[in-house]
């Protein structure tokens, strides 16, 4: 395909979202004036032509995402794209290290390498890319620490290194003033969250989940006035949940689950964003997405959050409407603050697997948008508030394995769909869907239980006792016969005579009934 020979002065080529296959034509390198090339969302294979990287010296936007391209990204000897501003190679099969020749593209604003097979360390020269705005490289095999040179990235807005093998600590000096999103989940990062991001007041998303961070939740998080999504799940954090979190008025998703947090739930945890009509209108595309014909490079932000016991990935407009608090699988104590009932716009609340005591607040009936409520595996007592049936949108509910008593909620609307598993492990609860019926006082009825016990006793036999007594009786009978035959010689002779007669009779009986061919 000699497209470059026919269109040598072409400035913008966009043939994305088609079904083109085969290799990228090397003749594209003949387009000396090419500024934008977008071949994304096709079925292209092979590698990036060297002629393209060597001749299209004015290229600023190169978009090859979501194809089947492979091989190493660029060869250092033939790379002359020094004006490159955006490089989007995500969703391919590129392997090898991030090429050092990219350091010659000093104007690089966006580097998008996610969902490939890249390995090796994150190069330190990326810290010298002063114009870098988006650095997005999740789901690769990158390893080693985050280079301390990243502290020089003052223009960075999005950092996404999730799902790699990155280790070490977060550089304490890393606090880009314009950073909006940080995704470093599912790595091997460790250490304490010291001073990183302490001066990043524009931060909207902080996702550090599935790592090995320890120590306390630092106070600088509470200074992130624009923070909307705080994901610290599956770490080794300890100490109390900071009361200063209550100062974050835009906070919509809090996931502190699977840590070692202790103390009480802050009663002030009734954030404005979770009990009003506030919605985040965060722009998920880059503010400089701009050359004519260039596709927006930054994809919609994705955040993983567990609701209804299932992990979902929320993005786009759905994410802006999602809100929830997950404090499960910690060591929290004390009572559930009744102020939690002020979270009228919350969709998910999970306080399971803690050591919470006291009763379920009646204010929970105010959680009018709640879809998933999990209070299981605690030490809660008292009755389930009957007003809770006013939660018309709820489709997952569990108070299992507590010390609750009284009657289960009326089986009405959504609560008519919940099964025994939602209430099991509370021995003083009664009423449907549990097998225990309630008496006039709302306590478990004893009559059905007694009749059941009588029925069970009538059909009950301890098989161990049966086998032991049978064996003992058999041994006693055999010993008694042996002693009698030993003491009385007449009975002994009679016994052996009867045995011999019986054996002879059996022998001739078998012989008489064998076919003639077998008797010899």
The domain ranges of the chain are: 1-121, 468-518
Torsion of CA 195, 196, 198, 204, to 10 degrees: -150
Mean pLDDT of 128-134: 94
Least-confidence region, from 86-95, 118-127, 208-217, 303-312: 303-312
Mean pLDDT of 316-341: 93
CA distance 31 to 135: 28
State yes or no: pLDDT of 290 exceeds 50.
Answer: no
| pTM score, whole prediction | 0.80
How do residues 441-478 score in pLDDT, each as one tens digit?
A: 767 776 444 444 444 444 444 566 767 777 878 788 77
CA distance 87 to 109: 9
Question: Would you state the pLDDT for residue 255?
Answer: 96
Q: At what angle do helices 489-513 and 463-487 cross, to 10 degrees?
A: 110
Question: Would you state the pLDDT for residue 287?
Answer: 39
Q: Which CATH superfamily is domain 1-121 in?
A: Ribonuclease Inhibitor (3.80.10.10)
Question: Would you state the pLDDT for residue 468?
Answer: 78
> Is 218 within 8 Å of 199 (Cβ atoms)?
no
DSSP codes, 167-216: EEPPPTT---TT--EEE--SSEEEEE--STTTT-TT--EEE--SSEEEEE
Least-confidence region, from 100-114, 127-141, 242-256: 242-256
Least-confidence region, from 229-243, 272-286, 302-316, 412-426: 272-286
How do residues 97-128 score in pLDDT, each as one tens digit?
A: 999 999 999 999 999 999 999 999 999 999 99
The neighbour count for residue 66, using CB atoms within 10 Å, is 20
Alpha carbons within 13 A on the beta-carbon side of 275 = 15
195: left (phi over 0), alpha (psi -120 to 50) or beta: alpha
How do residues 343-367 score in pLDDT, each as one tens digit?
A: 888 999 999 999 999 999 999 999 9
Question: Would you state the pLDDT for residue 457?
Answer: 44
Q: Could you tell me what percentage of the chain is helix, strand and coil, using 3-state DSSP and rounding each to the nearest 5?
A: 25, 25, 50
Q: Is residue 298 packed enough to be buried (19+ CB in 10 Å), middle (13-18) or exposed (0-12)?
A: buried
Question: Would you state the pLDDT for residue 472?
Answer: 79
Mean pLDDT of 495-508: 73
CA distance 7 to 326: 57
Mean pLDDT of 235-260: 92
**3-state class of 257 per DSSP?**
coil
Higher pLDDT, 219 or 229: 229
How do residues 168-193 score in pLDDT, each as one tens digit?
A: 999 988 889 999 999 999 999 999 98
Q: Which residue's structure tokens are 């965060």? A: 282
CA distance 195 to 158: 19
Of 290, 425, 428, 314, whose CA–CA distance to 371 is shortest?
A: 314
Higher pLDDT, 399 or 471: 399
């Amino acid at each position: 395909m000699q497209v470059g020979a026919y269109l040598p002065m072409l400035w913008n080529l966009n043939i994305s979202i088609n079904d083109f296959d085969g290799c990228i034509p090397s003749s594209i390198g003949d387009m000396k004036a090419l500024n934008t090339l977008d071949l994304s969302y096709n079925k292209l294979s092979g590698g990036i032509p060297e002629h393209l990287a060597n001749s299209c010296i004015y290229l600023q936007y190169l978009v090859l995402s979501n194809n089947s391209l492979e091989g190493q990204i660029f060869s250092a000897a033939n790379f002359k794209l020094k004006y490159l501003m955006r490089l989007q190679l995500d969703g391919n099969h590129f392997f090898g290290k991030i090429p050092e020749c990219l350091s010659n593209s000093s104007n690089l604003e966006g580097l998008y390498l996610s969902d490939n097979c890249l390995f090796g360390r994150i190069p330190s020269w990326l810290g010298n890319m002063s114009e870098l705005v988006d650095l997005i490289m999740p789901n690769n095999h990158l390893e080693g620490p985050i280079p301390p040179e990243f502290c020089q990235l003052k223009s960075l807005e999005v950092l996404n290194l999730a799902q790699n093998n990155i280790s070490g600590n977060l550089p304490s000096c890393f606090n880009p003033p314009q950073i909006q999103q940080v995704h470093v989940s599912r790595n091997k990062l460790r250490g304490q969250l010291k001073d990183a991001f302490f001066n990043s007041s524009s931060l909207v998303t902080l996702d550090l989940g599935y790592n090995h961070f320890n120590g306390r939740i630092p106070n600088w998080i509470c200074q992130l006035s624009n923070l909307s999504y705080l994901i610290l799940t599956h770490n080794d954090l300890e100490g109390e949940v900071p009361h200063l979190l209550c100062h974050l008025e835009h906070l919509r998703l809090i996931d502190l689950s699977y840590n070692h947090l202790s103390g009480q739930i802050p009663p002030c945890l009734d954030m404005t964003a979770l009990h009003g009509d506030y919605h985040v209108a965060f722009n998920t595309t880059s503010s400089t997405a701009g050359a004519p014909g260039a596709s927006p490079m930054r994809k919609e932000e994705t955040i993983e959050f567990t609701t209804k016991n299932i992990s979902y990935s929320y993005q786009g407009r759905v994410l802006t409407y999602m809100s929830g608090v997950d404090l499960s699988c910690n060591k929290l104590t004390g009572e559930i603050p009744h102020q939690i009932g002020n979270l009228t716009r919350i969709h998910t609340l999970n306080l399971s697997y803690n050591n919470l005591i006291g009763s379920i607040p009646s204010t929970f009936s105010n959680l009018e948008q709640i879809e998933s409520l999990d209070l299981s595996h605690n030490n809660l007592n008292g009755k389930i508030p009957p007003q809770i049936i006013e939660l018309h949108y709820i489709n997952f509910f569990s108070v299992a394995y507590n010390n609750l008593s009284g009657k289960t909620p009326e089986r009405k609307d959504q609560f008519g769909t919940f099964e025994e598993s939602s209430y099991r492990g509370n021995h003083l609860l009664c009423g449907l869907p549990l097998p225990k019926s309630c008496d006039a006082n709302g306590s478990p009825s004893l009559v059905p239980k007694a009749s059941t016990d009588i029925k069970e006793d009538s059909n009950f036999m301890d098989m161990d006792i049966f086998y032991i007594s049978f064996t003992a009786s058999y041994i006693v009978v055999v010993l008694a016969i042996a002693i009698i035959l030993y003491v009385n010689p007449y009975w002994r002779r009679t016994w052996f005579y009867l045995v011999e007669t019986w054996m002879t009779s059996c022998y001739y009986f078998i012989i008489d009934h064998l076919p003639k061919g077998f008797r010899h």
